[in-house]
Structure 1
């Protein structure tokens, strides 16, 4: 027997809840390299990575974020950018296309745009076998 939803007194409520849930999950893309779609910044957060033979540059658009609310970490293979506003949190871990010297990093933040420059380093050190 098929259920007839036309007589369900809760149908409108469940439809509205479903619509709201779809709206909240709409920005999430499981294939995204970050931690979920728009990360609370209304789809305006965007990260690009540029590389030359000498350096790697990471550029992130962080609208509405103050300089003192940004945290940057690097382990030589990844850069993690964390930021927050009163209404949202943002964190993204970016895999770099090459190994970098994390101690060479410099960063600037101007008009909502974060730029991080990192010097490339050799692929790996040779180890002598004795």
Structure 2
């Protein structure tokens, strides 16, 4: 893979991970018929795993494969801090607090599991194939 295509793949992985994390954060208070639905938790777990593993398969680069996990973590954790206006996107009380905690905890575990798999995987040969 050429350097330019590797940079483009890395940029795509970062953009998709950032977009997905943002969507997941805003899905945290999702309710159907008044019942809290933890869809963002499921999407965080599946998305984090698939993005990391998919980035490795696409590029063959371990560094690029780790980028989606780092971007997801930055976006998810920054959603738990108050903005200058006083707004808080990911709250930590009641049932929504439990969903937020599950989102952060399970999302990080899925990303860490995927990164561990990526880093433990044998390296692919760099040279031309026979």
Please give the TM-score of this superposition, normalised by the length of structure 2. Answer: 0.29
Q: TM-score of the superposition, structure 1-length normalised?
A: 0.29
More helix by share: 2
| Bigger Cα Rg | 1
Q: Which one has a larger percent strand, Structure 1 or Structure 2?
A: 1
